[in-house]
Structure 1
Amino acid sequence: MIQPYIIKKGDMVLQPCNLATGQYEGSYLLRYKADSQIIKERVAKIIDRSCRFYGSSYVFKKEDTMRITGISSKPPILFTPLFPTYFFPTHSDRKADNTWINIHYVHNIRPLKERKCKVNFVDNQSIVANISAHSMHHQYLNGIYYYYMMDRAARVATFDPDSPIDYTKPQLNIYKALAKYSLFEPK
């Protein structure tokens, strides 16, 4: 049995693609320093399943972003604070051609003709998206802003802004990490 796909460390892009079964029925996945692959599922389904896998629904993750940042149109989401999974959408989540991009791997955004752009990643892979470079840059900045707000809140929650949680420690307190990044009050 094939395991349903979940967003994981190293995922850079999840972009809709056409399959023999129909337009935007598949997902084109770019991974850091790895070959691209086609997943025979819609992007929205993978995003929703990944959100649930990491502890809450897609709707909750959207609402959480809106609460923290005030971004209400096409908000970015964080799948898990345990590794870099801050993704931003290129379009509304109601659009079938919505692509999700991880902010941590974007190298630059280049304009193309006909209101398209090329996104180059740090490992020299790239995609072309049906969105203007200006709009793509705006969405990218929204993702960076969300990352900043979460990081700032986490540093303030430790009462020592110069010493965030060290995830490399062998005795990581998962409750402390989750409480810190979800903005819960620690016990």
Structure 2
Amino acid sequence: MHKDFYRIGPQTMAIMPDFDKYGHPESIILEQGKEAFSIKLKPRHLIDRTLRSYASSYMGAVQGAAYILKKNHTLPVLIKAEKPIILLPTESSTREGCMWLSLDHIIDFNEEEKGSTRISLTGGASIVAGISLHSFYHQFQKALFFRHHLERPDDRMTQAFEPGVTYHFIKGEGIRKTGKKE
């Protein structure tokens, strides 16, 4: 089955690269409880189109992840902030074989053979990806840390940087805001 438009959502389990019968790139979409279907876009372009429909972009999502994770390659992307959908790549997104998997749909993963990993998804589906178990584990951990960072309360702005020290700033005639006399 082929679709003309698709927006990545909570039911999206995996986006896999493929080519149609004419050699044009497309994406195979696995959704929970449904048959796989294709869309005539590369996975990265499908992700960008979805993000643009939410007033963002692929580059913005990658830059945000790079800022949070302090890394700059094979980064997970956040599709939707209200109810986070985090996709993790199996390799560099510029490579033809890059698959994208939804963090929430990954149940388990095991080494299939040297250099490939079987990833079990919700609903009983599984995918074999051309990535070592060690590398996939690293990608999975990176995505978990990313989600953890996004879900934690932002208490950094309210923390005291000098425990036990209190500052009082008093504004009055002849006194600067720093508390020192002019």
Moved more, 8-17 or 32-41: 32-41
| Distance in 2 of aligned mates of 1:59 and 1:84 | 18
Unpaired segments ≥5 residues, structure 1: 160-187
Change (3 A) 1:84 1:32: farther
Match of 1:22, SS state, is: coil
Q: Which has the higher helix share?
A: 1
User: How do 1:124-135 residues align onto structure 2 when only pairs under 5 Å count?
Assistant: 124-135=124-135
Give the TM-score, by structure 1 length.
0.76
| Distance in 2 of aligned mates of 1:51 and 1:99 | 17
Alpha-carbon distance, 1:153 to partner: 4.0
| Distance in 2 of aligned mates of 1:61 and 1:84 | 12
How many residues are paired up? 155
The answer (yes or no) to whether the contact 1:14–1:29 under 8 Å persists in 2 is yes
Alpha-carbon distance, 1:82 to partner: 2.6
| Distance in 2 of aligned mates of 1:35 and 1:47 | 20
Give the TM-score, by structure 2 length.
0.78
| Distance in 2 of aligned mates of 1:92 and 1:40 | 20
The answer (yes or no) to whether the contact 2:4–2:40 under 8 Å persists in 1 is no
User: How do 1:1-187 residues align onto structure 2 when only pairs under 5 Å count?
Assistant: 3-22=4-23, 25-153=25-153, 156=155
Change (3 A) 1:3 1:40: closer
| Distance in 1 of aligned mates of 2:115 and 2:49 | 31
| Distance in 2 of aligned mates of 1:17 and 1:96 | 9
CA-to-aligned-CA distance 1:133-184 (integer Å, 9 cap, x gap): 1111111111111000000145x48x8xxxxxxxxxxxxxxxxxxxxxxxxx
Identity across the alignment (%): 23
What amino acid maps onto 1:128 in structure 2? V
